[in-house]
Amino acid sequence: MNLNLLYQYWKLKRHEKLSELDIKKIQWKRLKDILDHAYNNVPFYRKKFDDEGIKPSDIKTEEDLVRIPITTKEQLVSAGTDIFAEGYSPKNCFSSKTSGSTGEPFSSYFDSKAWDILKFASKLRARRACGLAVGARIINIEACSAEEANELNKKAKKSPADLFLKKRFLSVYDKIENHIKFYNSFKPDALYSFGTYFSELIDFAKENKIEWHKPKLIFTSSEILDPLTRKKIEDYFGPNVYDIYGTTEVKEVAWQCTSKSAYHINDDLYYVEINNNGSYPENIGEIVITTLVNKAMPLIRYSVKDLGCLEKGSCSCGLNFSLIKPVYGRDVDTFSLEDGRKVSPYQLTMSVEQVPGILQYQIVQKSKKDVLVKIKPDKGWNKESELKIDQELKNALDPNVKIEVRLTGNIEREPNGKFKVVKSEISQ
């Protein structure tokens, strides 16, 4: 592990002890600095500001931020190399590539300092806050091939960071029996993957009556961790299940602490807004993020197409970072109805999860009049369960929507390895 990474981790750890006011001061200073940097060095943002007739100096309060137009992935793709700050290019940056599951493949780029902070130091801070010890063994189960996972493991074993945190990788596409063999050999303290992966792992272990080395800590990410899946994981592994919110473009934005009441936003690394344009109920809206430490390709008021709401108050754990609760899912998977209304994924999952006899489910909008519900049934499933789903979803959507319930033994993942609980197949 390089010394700069340790230094950045040490700096982030110090912020855990700061008051809410002091954290906000750091956040605002970094926000002003990144706005100046983006205007002076990034052609894409200089044009965006100039087109609106504003300068960074015009942003004097948080309320002024709305004067800066929201940035979308489509705009970034169209801008080409104009999204890079002067002196940066793909050749001298670290990169992360989205899977393109939404039809918009895109690579984001990070300078070396930002990469150390966002890819490693901030994650380590969050995992340590949840009880992960120095020297702990952690396995990431990722959407990569088994060959890619083996290559990552070779590099991890040679890295100096292995002395500080032993991190290994497995492919989510590999057989679960191979995973269990690896767990029994490596004996991890923690596992990190999709919530639905753990659901499949639990089913396999129970069905085959397998005794294996179960870790004490479970970290979930990249999918909606619905209450049904969370309860299943906690019943099997114990209470130490923590969900993480982030995206490929910006990295880890918020995370659950030991209180699990909400997600702590990394306020020293991001400025997060909720944009409610009147299409969503109450205080729910699109999550809009400004990155504060990435100089190579800063993102200013970037809409990640996810839905959420900011939570008021403080957390019982004592950390003074802002709270977001909960993350409701992708805006692109909001169901659009014929009368113009939009129904969030969260409303739909709440409708189904009170129905007994379900191991796993997926709600798919085929058209504005047709919804398919795929059900992997449990022993408690019966005809009344099907009627209950029909009733609850019609209450949430529209009495005239046709609900088809289809029983299945397997619900497939998306091409990127993730699983969508709620999925819209119509244009928004």
Low-confidence ranges of the chain (pLDDT < 50): 100-103
Give the position of tokens 């596409």. 173
Sign of CA dihedral 165, 192, 181, 99: negative
* Alpha carbon distance, N-terminus to C-terminus of the chain: 45
Say how many residues make up the chain.
428
Contacts of residue 180, Cβ cutoff 8 Å, sequence gap at least 6: 204, 205, 210, 212
Q: What residue ranges do the domains of the chain occupy?
A: 3-330, 335-424
pLDDT given at position 351:
79
Rounded (5°) CA angle 90-96-100:
110
Residue 288 pLDDT = 95
Taking the C-alpha atoms of residue 60 and residue 53, their distance in angstroms, rounded to an integer, is: 15
Topology given in CATH for the domain delimited by 335-424: GMP Synthetase; Chain A, domain 3 (3.30.300)
Residue 221: how many CB atoms within 10 A of its CB? 18
**pLDDT for position 104:** 53
Task: Give the per-residue pLDDT at 347.
Answer: 73
In this prediction the pTM is 0.82
- The CA-atom distances, in angstroms, between 334 and each of 1, 52, 312, 418, 422 are 42, 30, 25, 17, 8
For tokens 């049934």, the residue is 377
Second CATH level (architecture) for the domain 3-330: 3-Layer(aba) Sandwich (3.40)
Helices 20-41 and 43-52 pack at an angle, to 10 degrees, of 100
> Beta 190-193 vs 241-247: how paired, if at all?
unpaired
Looking at residue 100, its pLDDT comes to: 47
Q: Is 45 exposed, middle or buried (0-12, 13-18, 19+ CB in 10 A)?
A: buried
SS3 content of the chain, % helix, strand, coil (to 5): 40, 25, 35
Residues near 382 by beta carbon (within 8 Å), at least 6 away in sequence: 357
DSSP string, 186-213: H--SEEEE-HHHHHHHHHHHHHTT----
